[in-house]
Structure 1
Amino acid sequence: MALYEQQTHNLLCPCHQSQFDVSNHCAVIFGPAARPLPQLPITVDAEGYLVAQSDFLEPVGPSYWERLR
């Protein structure tokens, strides 16, 4: 869960205090996060429902999961 700041268009992660700019592909602007938030391409269908157009464009989960061991 994240907190949205409407005036700055930032998302704040309450767990680790990372901040993301939703107007710039959820780029990291502060915090321990090592990469932007994963993006899920969505659209609105004719009935007004949100529909995913494909899978996430990036890996979902903490960036440390991507480390080589």
Structure 2
Amino acid sequence: MILPALTEVASPLFRPIEYSLFPPLGLATLAGYLDPDDEVTLLDEHVERVDIEALDSPDLLVVQP
């Protein structure tokens, strides 16, 4: 599950500390509905850049708009 970075992240005025106080929980909520045996990886581009090519072949890829 991937949360792409907001366009505001490129702005020098973007404040990651404020953003981290209220992180979006949509993907985490969806992951909570999955079976405990399902392997889930949550990636947030606000935390680190996501390299799609480096991902193992997932059965399902979820991207939050």
Please, what TM-score do these two structures have when normalized by structure 1? 0.25
Q: Return the structure number with greater relative CO, CA threshold 8 A, min gap 6.
A: 2
Please, what TM-score do these two structures have when normalized by structure 2? 0.25
